[in-house]
Structure 1
């Protein structure tokens, strides 16, 4: 019986492939397990009945937020999503496009309540400006302004204000700002963003990105 004889170069090549496979196998196995886990997790997170159960057992709003902040009405809304946020909060900026995508489906009314989270004048100016834009009643302009603000890597109020000039609208926002602050204190809002769905706080087991699976 004849055996195939390999050259030293071929032997090194085969050994190299074998060693590479041995070193990568745990990683590839782990990746396969990770994909399987993610798939199972996605099925759990998209279970509407389970979401409703957790939501109904989470914290409920005790005072109505009606009339506060910015309100974007959905075309066929079945859910009211309330986002309590700070215009300079990084996580708030990251959740904005996710909530915008939900809003575009028409399934939700999106309400945004702003709190300054520090009370410095620039933050209050920014909130006042966003409220002033919304008070003009132009839905698309309001959405664009929110997108422009939150998409900035470095928040620049002066540049933003130049792009969205206002006149008397700014002086009319003080009562709204105070009402939002009073409401947030009454509801004991301790961090931003805080999300409420139909008056109940989003359970900690869910992220904003998970809402696309259950709010349909």
Structure 2
């Protein structure tokens, strides 16, 4: 075999691979730079949104509660609360269930008061019974017991009223919740609550730029 010919073929192959690599890099370089820049901007945005002063600014421009929610639903008081977080929820709402452990974790820091208001509208009998039962438990339980009951409802993947009711047996206490449930319904209608969970912080609705999970890094 001609040695010169073999060397030429190797050189040609090396040149082809080298040129191909250069062309590929030049083609992909804008993509990698753009991706790096995007990540950089995301980091800046996260840092910006995670600033409590930024949140306060956005809250000041968001919808404010018009009707006093004092006395509605369930109130858990933090040890050194700097914020009042009000969650309007539905016991059978998936996103409400997902938000529960996040807000529980935040409450455990002692930095927030957590108020849970249920939206009983829609004429769903089982939803009404579930809300009545949770409210009845809360009416006669300690704060720790209330948290446990909320965990027992929201944390299981499958929500079964009969299972919950068997764990927390009640009698006439459910009937006693009717006026409290009506008060929550009236408030939700007055505030035009159209979806759950709806979150209010110090009386202002959580801005669209924020997710509930963001609160773990801000309300500290």
Partner of 1:215: 219
> Which of 95, 98, 101 is the equivalent residue of 1:97?
101
5+ long unaligned stretches in structure 1: 7-17
Partner of 2:133: 129
Deviations along 1:151-202, one digit per CA (max 9) or x if unpaired, are 1222111111111212332121000000000001111111111111111111
Q: Conserved in 1, the CA contact under 8 Å of 2:120 and 2:181? A: no
Partners of 2:218 and 2:66 in 1: CA distance: 24
The range that moved more, 33-42 or 44-53, is: 33-42
5+ long unaligned stretches in structure 2: 1-6, 11-21
With the length of structure 1 as denominator, give the TM-score of the two structures: 0.84
Q: Conserved in 2, the CA contact under 8 Å of 1:86 and 1:117? A: no
> Which of 26, 37, 40 is the equivalent residue of 1:36?
40
> Which of 187, 190, 194 is the equivalent residue of 1:190?
194
With the length of structure 2 as denominator, give the TM-score of the two structures: 0.83
Partner of 1:11: none
Q: Conserved in 2, the CA contact under 8 Å of 1:78 and 1:107? A: yes
Partner of 1:10: none
Structure 1 residues 146-185: aligned runs within 5 Å: 146-185=150-189
Distance apart, 1:149 and its partner CA: 1.0
Partner of 1:74: 78
The range that moved more, 127-136 or 39-48, is: 39-48
Distance apart, 1:144 and its partner CA: 1.1
Q: Per the alignment, in what secondary structure is the counterpart of residue 172 of structure 1?
A: helix
Partners of 1:153 and 1:137 in 2: CA distance: 24
Partners of 1:139 and 1:34 in 2: CA distance: 45
What's the Cα RMSD here?
Answer: 3.0
Residue correspondences, number: 214
Report the CA distance shift for 1:135/1:25 in structure 2 as closer, same or farther (over 3 A).
farther
Partner of 2:13: none
Q: Per the alignment, in what secondary structure is the counterpart of residue 43 of structure 1?
A: helix
Q: Conserved in 1, the CA contact under 8 Å of 2:120 and 2:184? A: no
Distance apart, 1:139 and its partner CA: 1.2
* Mapped pair 1:59 → 2:73: no
